[in-house]
């Protein structure tokens, strides 16, 4: 799985990442940490979560003080970084 981040036709593609998960009592995976390149970021809290037909999304408050939106494609088993919001300095 090679990380990718590209700008094409005025929009940005999702970035593939590595995610460490916890499977809750229903077996649904939730992120507890994720890797951006060589950096491991702990998920301090899942601020929000929602689901689509084949995807689950998580807004995560990470250990670096920033918010990340992680998308899990359940059919492919792939995680992607969908959005980033810089935390207060």
Q: What is the mean pLDDT of the chain?
A: 83
End-to-end alpha carbon distance in the chain: 32
Angle made by CA atoms 19, 12, 33, in degrees to the nearest 5: 15
Rg of the chain on CA atoms, in Å = 13
Show the low-confidence residues of the chain (pLDDT under 70): 1-14, 26-27, 89
In this prediction, residue 14 carries a pLDDT of 63
**C-beta separation of 80 from 68 below 8 A:** no
- pTM listed for this prediction: 0.78
**C-beta separation of 27 from 15 below 8 A:** no
Each residue's pLDDT tens digit, 57-72: 999 999 999 999 999 9
In this prediction, residue 5 carries a pLDDT of 39
Nearest Cα neighbor of 70 from 62, 1, 9 is: 62
């Amino acid at each position: 799985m090679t990380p990718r981040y590209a700008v094409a036709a005025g929009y940005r593609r999702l970035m593939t990442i590595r995610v460490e998960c916890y499977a809750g009592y229903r077996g649904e995976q939730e992120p507890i940490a994720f890797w951006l390149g060589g950096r491991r970021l702990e998920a301090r809290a899942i601020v929000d979560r929602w689901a689509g037909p084949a995807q689950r999304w998580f807004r995560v408050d990470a250990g670096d003080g920033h918010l990340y939106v992680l998308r899990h494609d359940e059919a492919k088993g792939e995680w992607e970084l969908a959005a980033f919001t810089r935390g207060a300095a």
